[in-house]
Chain A
Amino acid sequence: MLRSSLQRKQKAGPQSCPLLIFSVGGRRLAVKTDEVAGISAWKGSIPVPSRTPFVSAVVRKDKDVFPVFDLAELLHVTVKGEELLCLTAKHHRGAMAICIDEDMPVLHTLDAAAIQAYRGGEFEAIGSFANGLDQIPIISLAKLGSA
Chain B
Amino acid sequence: MSLRGRQAGTTSLAPRSRFLIVTVGGTHLALHADRVQGLLTMEEAGLAEALTVQGLTYARVDLGTPLHLPDDSEGPDTRVVLLSSGSVRGNIRVAQVHGLKEIEQSQVLPLPRHFQNEEQSWYHGILLFEESVALVLNPAWVMEGCGVRQALGTVEHRGEPQRMLATPRALAGG
Interface string of B89-131 (1 = CB under 8 A from A): 0000000000000000000010011111111001000101001
Cα-based distance from A37 to B72 in the complex (angstroms): 38
User: CA separation between A50 and B67, bound complex, in Å?
Assistant: 7
Measured CB to CB, the nearest residue on chain A to B128 is A63
Residues of chain B lying within 8 A (CB to CB) of residue A51: 117-119
Query: Which residues of B lie under 8 Å from residue A67 when comparing CB positions?
Result: 112, 114-115
* Interface, chain A (partner B; CB < 8 A): 46-52, 55, 58, 60, 63, 65-67, 69, 91, 93-94, 96, 145
Contact partner of A52 (CB less than 8 A), chosen from B26, B109, B114, B133, is B114
Contacts of B117 in A (CB 8 A): 50-52
Q: A60 touching B131 by the CB < 8 A rule?
A: yes
Residues of B within 8 A of A69 (CB): 114
Bound complex: CA of A94 vs CA of B27, how far in Å? Answer: 24
Q: Which residue of A lies closest to B122 (CB)?
A: A49
Please report the total number of B residues contacting A with Cβ < 8 Å: 21
Q: How far is the CB of B27 from chain A (nearest CB, A)?
A: 6
User: Which residues of A lie under 8 Å from residue B135 when comparing CB positions?
Assistant: 48-49
Beyond the given A49-B122, A93-B112, please list 19 additional residue pairs across the A-B interface where CB-CB is below 8 A: A46-B133, A48-B119, A48-B135, A49-B68, A49-B69, A49-B135, A50-B115, A51-B119, A52-B115, A52-B117, A58-B112, A58-B126, A58-B133, A60-B131, A63-B128, A65-B133, A67-B112, A91-B114, A145-B114
Write out the residue numbers on chain A whose beta carbons fall within 8 Å of the beta carbon of B113: 93-94
Number of A-B contacts (CB under 8 A): 57
Q: Can you offer 24 A-B residue contacts whose CB atoms are under 8 A?
A: A48-B115, A48-B119, A49-B67, A49-B69, A50-B115, A50-B119, A51-B118, A52-B116, A52-B117, A55-B114, A55-B115, A58-B112, A60-B128, A60-B131, A60-B132, A65-B126, A67-B114, A91-B114, A93-B112, A93-B113, A94-B112, A94-B113, A94-B114, A96-B114
Chain B residues with CB below 8 A from A46, complex form: 132-133
Query: Could you say which residues of chain B place their CB within 8 Å of the CB of A50?
Result: 115, 117, 119
Task: Annotate B132-155 by CB proximity to A: 1 below 8 A, 0 otherwise.
Answer: 110100000000000000000000
Closest residue of chain A to B134 (Cβ to Cβ) is A46
Residues of A within 8 A of B27 (CB): 47-49
Most buried by A among B114, B116, B118: B114
Determine the residue in chain A with the shortest Cβ distance to B123. Answer: A48
